[in-house]
A and B are shown apart, each in its own frame.
Chain A
Amino acid sequence: MPPRQAVKKQLLAYAMIFPALFFFALYLVFPLVKSLQMSFYDYDGVGPLNSFIGLGNFAEGFRDSRFYEAMGHNLILMVVELVVSMSVAFVLAYFLFRGVFAWRWFNVVLFLPYIIPLAVSAVIWSLIFEPTIGMLNQLLGALGLDSWQRVWLGSQDTSLLSVILVWIWRTIPFDMLILLGSLLKIPKELIEASKIDGCTGIRTVWSIILPLMLPTIVLLSIISIANDFRSFDIVWIMTQGGPIGSTEIASTLVYKLGFQENHYGYANAVAFMVFVIVTAMVGLVSLILRSWNGPNERAGG
């Protein structure tokens, strides 16, 4: 290619990338830099940044019990999501894969909790958990389980559990969809062959199907971890992090420290610490699971 044309082509490439890069830089990269910058200042949100306090905000974060509690709740949410949602989703996906009556209909219906807006789910479930008029307590009463009735969202003992339940309800369909997609890619001959070799159903799942699905499971775990720390809507609408901080998670804490307490520098430091922890976790999980997987199966997924 003559050099002038090559230069023109390069310029065209930059011109085509520019719009994406513009939004990417303005709303994804610049905010990260700005967040880090603000976290070195004591800032109440008014006027310019002028009281530099070095690592003071980070030091405060390491001493702050609210930070540890919020991270703890987020970690519980994450572990329960990874274990419960994924296992239930796997069972459902496997059953759909093996063949269930009317599976097309079930496929449509099972996915609904993921489709309706998260804010709507949050409102629906706060009404279901309502102590007097809520469906759950009425159902328990009707079944004669009055002793199980609770002030679900209003008591510190059950609020986190209730919020996590909604999160599971919401995430199972997505996990199921991804796992089913991966199941459908497994060659039928492999499963037939294992049956001829005398494998029972559960053994086939354990030693043939699960290893083949590992790349998908790794990927799904990473997506789930990232999403668990992104969640805000459900907790904010259902409990606003209460009662007494019992459902506080990273995002609601950052919101409160900033917008409600006007402690923006510190809020940014906390947000940045969450960012580093989540990024480290995602990296760690992918490293561990990949090394398990061995080099020969990396291609799948």
Chain B
Amino acid sequence: MIKRSWMTAVVALFAITSLYPLIWVVLQSLKTDTDFFANQWGLPERFIWGNYATAWEQANFATYYANTGLVTLASLVGGVAVCIVAGYAFGKIRFRGRRSLQVLFALVLFVPSPVLLLPVFFINRDLGLLNTYAGMIGPYIASIVPMGVLLMQSSFAGLPNELSESAKIDGCGEWRTFYRILLPLTLPTVATLCILQFIGVWSEYMWAFISNTNPKMYTIAVGMAQMASKKYVYGFGPVFAGMVITSIVVILVYVVLQKYFVQALSEGAVKG
């Protein structure tokens, strides 16, 4: 029998390795560079809040935030809506070709992205979508489709058929039955999809990096990485501040919605 305090000690040790790098970043983000070189373990000599202003203004974080917010919102609303309606059709309507389409969707669940990298670039180049919002939003919507449709389909299929039948007897058409009666009952799954898509798109780096050569189109992940590669120009303090600015929204959303996050990620993995 392992003692409870021993187990706590082991877990606490890992908690430190998880948390300390993040605390370290926050501490350095408030220091001058000389302070950082001399002493990176302690508290700042003076708190240099100006590092945040420097990062925000000089490294254009305002632009990155606007881009990321817009792209995330559009990919989230678009992606989730697309999955909801398709999930309903797959889960509740019998139609020709349903099985084969389902198999097709499932096959693509584990496609490694290196194989998509170049062709998606060329497709968007030919469509004139490089350096545009649409060029990011389209692939991001596609990225949630296979898993999202699967989750929504099983959520709709799990609802008893009597519900929709009695709604129809009451005079609801197919669309009203879906929208008014069944959709509200699948909201937990919808929330799961929203969380998965939010965290996926907000932090996405690879595609945003390849798709945009124009710095005005950068998302925060790309802008922050570009800034970090010029740390001797901007100074270390602002680079650390940039990392905090990049992570803060995701961390806040995570802390507030922690319960749903855990549920979303495990549901996404286990059922998807």
B230-272 at interface with A (beta carbon < 8 Å): 236, 239, 243, 246-247, 250-251, 254-255, 258, 261-262, 265-266, 269-270
Within 8 A of A (CB), among B135-149: 138-139, 141-143, 145-146, 149
Asked whether A258 lies within 8 Å of B89 as measured between CB atoms, the reply is: no
**A268 at interface by CB-CB < 8 Å:** yes
Q: How far is the CA of A201 from the CA of B3 in the complex (A)?
A: 11
Are A275 and B111 closer than 8 Å at their CB atoms?
yes
Compute how far the CA of A35 lies from the CA of B86 in the bound complex, rounded to whole angstroms.
27
Q: Contact check: which of A91, A111, A123, A219 meets B224 at CB < 8 Å?
A: A123
Chain A residues contacting B8 (CB-CB under 8 Å) are 95, 100-102
Question: Are A268's CB and B118's CB within 8 A?
Answer: yes
**Within the complex, which residue of A12, A123, A271 is in contact with B115, where a contact is CB–CB below 8 Å?**
A271
Interchain CB contact under 8 A, B85 and A219: no
How far, in whole Å, are A13 and B95 apart by their CA atoms in the complex? 7
State which of A119, A177, A223, A264 has its C-beta within 8 Å of the C-beta of B205: A119
Contact residues in A for B21 (Cβ distance below 8 Å): 124-125, 128
Asked if residues B120 and A27 are in contact (CB atoms below 8 Å), the reply is yes
Query: Which listed segment binds B: A15-23, A51-59, A186-194, A287-295?
Result: A15-23
B105 touches A24 (CB 8 A): yes
Of the residues A14, A173, A219, contact of B18 by C-beta under 8 Å: A173
**CB within 8 Å for A230 and B4 given contacts A32-B119, A116-B250, A220-B269:** no
0/1 interface trace, chain B 117-134, chain A, CB 8 Å (1 if under): 111111100000000000
A106 touches B (CB below 8 Å):
yes
Q: Which residue of B lies closest to A259 (CB)?
A: B210
Interface of A is mostly: helix
> Are B93's CB and A12's CB within 8 A?
yes
B66 at the interface (CB under 8 A from A): no
Residues of B within 8 A of A120 (CB): 221, 224, 243, 246-247
Q: For the complex, what is the distance from the CA of A274 to the CA of B122, rounded to whole Å? A: 19
State the CA gap A21–B99 with chains docked (Å): 14
How many chain B residues touch the partner (CB < 8 A)? 91
Instruction: Confirm or deny: B182 has a beta carbon within 8 angstroms of a beta carbon on chain A.
Output: no
Out of B12, B86, B118, B236, which one reaches A267, CB within 8 Å? B118
Is B103's CB within 8 Å of the partner chain A?
Answer: no
A10-B258 in contact (CB<8A) = no
User: How many angstroms from the CA of A264 to the CA of B118 in the assembled complex?
Assistant: 8
B15 touches A272 (CB 8 A): no
A-contact bits for B136-164, CB 8 A (1 contact / 0 none): 00110111011001000000000000000
Q: Is the CB of A117 within 8 A of B246?
A: yes
When distances are taken between beta carbons in the complex, the residues of chain A under 8 Å from B199 are 115
- A139, closest chain B residue (CB): B41
A226 touches B110 (CB 8 A): yes
Please state if B221 and A100 are interface contacts (CB–CB under 8 Å).
no
Residues of A within 8 A of B46 (CB): none
Provide the residues of chain B in CB contact with A99, threshold 8 Å.
4, 7
A32 / chain B contacts, CB cutoff of 8 Å: 111, 115-116, 119
Q: Does B60 make an interface contact (CB < 8 A)?
A: no
CA distance A122 to B8 in the complex (A): 29
9 of the cross-chain contacts (CB-CB < 8 Å) are A24-B105, A32-B119, A34-B123, A109-B18, A113-B18, A115-B261, A119-B224, A122-B225, A233-B221
Which 3 residue pairs across A and B have the least CB separation, nearest first?
A117-B203, A27-B142, A31-B119
Q: 4 more A-B contacts (CB under 8 A) besides A38-B122, A111-B261, A250-B112?
A: A12-B93, A16-B85, A117-B205, A255-B114
